[in-house]
Amino acid sequence: MGFPHILLPQAAQVWHLNQQLAQFEQIPEAKQRAIQAESLQALCEWAALHSPFWRTRLASVGWTKASDPWSILAQLPHLTRPDLQEHFDALSCSAALPPDTCIFAHSTGSTGRPVRVYKHGPSYELRYLAHSLRGSVWHRLDVSKTAFKFSVRVQDGMRQSWGPPEAWFGKTGSTVFCRSIERDVAEMYLRLKQHRPGYIMADASLAHEIARYALAFAAADKLRIDAFLCTGETVTEELRRDCQEAFGARVVNRYTNEEAGWLAIQCPRHEHLHVMAANVIVEIVDDAGQPCRIGQPGRVLITALHSEAMPLIRYDVGDVAEWGEACDCGINMPVIRRIWGRQIEFVRSRSGGMRYAPLVAEEFLAIAPMRDMRFRLYTNPLLRFELVCAMPLTDEQRAALTAKARQMFECDCPVEIDQRDAIAWGQTNKRITFMALDEPWLEG
């Protein structure tokens, strides 16, 4: 490959998008909002023309081509997961796009409500790769090092590069793939020791389990990791601390979903995230649907500005987050100070309010040497505590674990401890450790 290097057409398109995104993040927020408004208006026009669902919904709030898109957006009802499940055909605009260009995607169903969407393959892939490249540039990833990816959607194997987009622009290290489902954390750690990667790509809960395992069982033979690149779940201060202590690794938080792609990426200077505002409009609203103030947790709604195949406008993704103050890093896109988790990770406190249910695993590990755990709160009411432990629990440990669970989740209901050989997480990357379910527990 001689100089000057000629990029492949797709690589050149991604690089051009990357340059546009780099310019966009530097312009004043008011100009960003004006560009978003143009994209939002175009999306509404497209949706009204090609989707029966959106034609009806937009008409219900008086939308016309002359309408102010921000005013219309504020009036539209939230698009819900049941909407996507029940009105899939009416939401789809795939018939208006060239044949065989739409791809079918579905969420992993970690919440128990899997959804499916259409995406326009050629444009979605280019934008996805360009935003991915921005994240690598922001965090100055050393792509010459080996990357290690845990996922339920891969088979064990190795690729000789990082793949696109990074491998399009220079030589990279290899990528090791490890199927994470039905695999013990100890086995995963042994795979890491074998390959000694620079970067680990994993959901936050799995990253934390690996870090906890390393601290408990492998302190004498520490691996050195540059960074965990986390997606899919809440990144906590405990996760950052344990990854630093176990591997000397930082954690880079990346907020994505299957339906829309990149939503936000951690700031290159701070731990908060910047919204990928060229790709999505993010709203954070309270229980009354009103915009949340800075520091106030609320539900996350997204409008995917380029969701031509199936418009996603004010889509309730099921997460809770809060806005932060403007950032001093030079990136002018909105700041998400914290992603708290999914709405199902909240419990109603004794005072009647909704409270985030954080799992402080160390407090349980101080009682019994567990390797995995999961909590499910049912409407019976019943709190089921599934756990994996190397030895049978004593009566004293069971009593202490029960008391700790009641204290941590602020509940007075019965606690059922189920010690088992493994926890059946299912076909999902997201290990949601605590979940409050709107259903009773039924034996069998």
Domain architecture of the chain: domains with CATH: 357-436 (3.30.300)
Q: Which amino acid is at 229?
A: L
Coil vs helix vs strand at 265: strand
Mind listing the pLDDT tens digit for each residue in 62-71?
999 999 999 9
DSSP code string of 206-244: HHHHHHHHHHHH-TTS----SEEEEESSPPPHHHHHHHH
Q: Is the confidence at residue 436, as pLDDT, over 80?
A: no
**Closest by CA position to 226, among listed 200, 207, 205:** 200
**CA 261, 263, 268, 270 torsion-angle sign:** negative
Instruction: Give dist(CA 327, CA 334) in Å, integer.
Output: 8
- Give pLDDT tens digits for 11-22: 999 999 999 999
**317: Cβ contacts below 8 Å, ≥ 6 apart:** 257, 259, 263, 300, 301, 302
User: pLDDT tens digits, residue range 175-200?
Assistant: 999 988 767 788 889 999 999 999 99
pLDDT in tens, 80-119: 988 998 899 999 999 999 999 999 887 654 444 567 899 9
427, pLDDT greater than 70: no
In tens, the pLDDT along 257-307 reads 889 999 999 999 999 999 999 999 999 999 899 999 999 999 999 999 999
Residues sharing a CB contact under 8 Å with residue 46, sequence separation 6 or more, in sequence order: 93, 96, 308, 311
Secondary structure (3-state) at 118: strand
Contact 172, 120 (CB under 8 A): no
Q: Among 1-5, 196-200, 319-323, whose mean pLDDT is lowest?
A: 1-5
